[in-house]
Amino acid sequence: MNKLTGSELIKLEEVERQIKARDLEINNSFTKDLQITALRGARNYIGDKLIRVAKPHKILDPNNGPLIAVRLNLLSRKTLGGLQTDLSCRVLDQAGNPLKGLYAAGEVSGFGGGGVHGYRSLEGTFLGGCLFTGRQAGRAAAKELM
């Protein structure tokens, strides 16, 4: 890991200590380690049990295969704010009045209203936000054009 980053930030003993501590929490079917509790809880959902959540095991037990480390970077993706629009997708001006003739939908409108998600997303909400606002923009504009 240090080779990958060209630093000495990672101390083997430190990492080992924390994972050993975590592994000690596996012996009982109950535990104080909230991550392990979460794993067990998740496996009550059949979908997770089938294809998503490994059976809780000791990370340092060699039977569980070699250890893997993955360096994770920050990855840019979505914009949650954007053009403020009313429920007809009309773009609003600084005073909150619709700009005549102008509509917005999808990510540029924060997927609706300039921020349908607030600060966080529940995921899978972006494509649906494009569908919902895109449909509404098309329909609202068509109606206005009658």
Ligand X SMILES: Cc1cc2nc3c(=O)[nH]c(=O)nc-3n(C[C@H](O)[C@H](O)[C@H](O)COP(=O)(O)OP(=O)(O)OC[C@H]3O[C@@H](n4cnc5c(N)ncnc54)[C@H](O)[C@@H]3O)c2cc1C
Strand partners, 85: 91
Residue 93 lies near another protein (rule: CB under 8 A): yes
Residue 124 lies near ligand X (rule: CB under 6 A): yes
Residue 6 touches which of ligand X, another protein, none (Cβ within 5-8 Å per kind): none
Q: What's the min distance (Å) between Cβ of 106 and ligand X?
A: 3
Residue 27 lies near another protein (rule: CB under 8 A): no
Q: Which stretch binds ligand X (CB under 6 A): 18-26, 53-61, 66-74, 121-129?
A: 121-129
Residue 130 lies near ligand X (rule: CB under 6 A): yes
Distance CA 54, CA 65 (A): 13
Q: What's the min distance (Å) between Cβ of 36 and another protein?
A: 9
Site for ligand X in 69-88 (CB under 6 A): 78
Residue 56 touches which of ligand X, another protein, none (Cβ within 5-8 Å per kind): another protein
Residue 102 lies near ligand X (rule: CB under 6 A): no
Residue 123 burial class via C-beta count within 10 angstroms: exposed 0-12, middle 13-18, buried 19 and up: exposed
Beta carbons of 111 and 123 less than 8 angstroms apart: no
Count of Cβ atoms closer than 10 Å to residue 117 Cβ: 18
Binding mask 31-70 for another protein (x = CB under 8 A): ---xx--xx--x--xxxx-xxxxxxxx-x----xxxxxxx
Tokens representing 140 are: 């609202």
Say what the alpha-carbon torsion angle 85, 86, 90, 91 is, to the nearest 10 degrees. -30
Count of Cβ atoms closer than 10 Å to residue 135 Cβ: 12
Q: Which of 17, 133, 38 lies closest to 83 in space, CA to CA?
A: 133
> Site residues (CB under 6 A) for ligand X?
78, 106-107, 124-127, 130
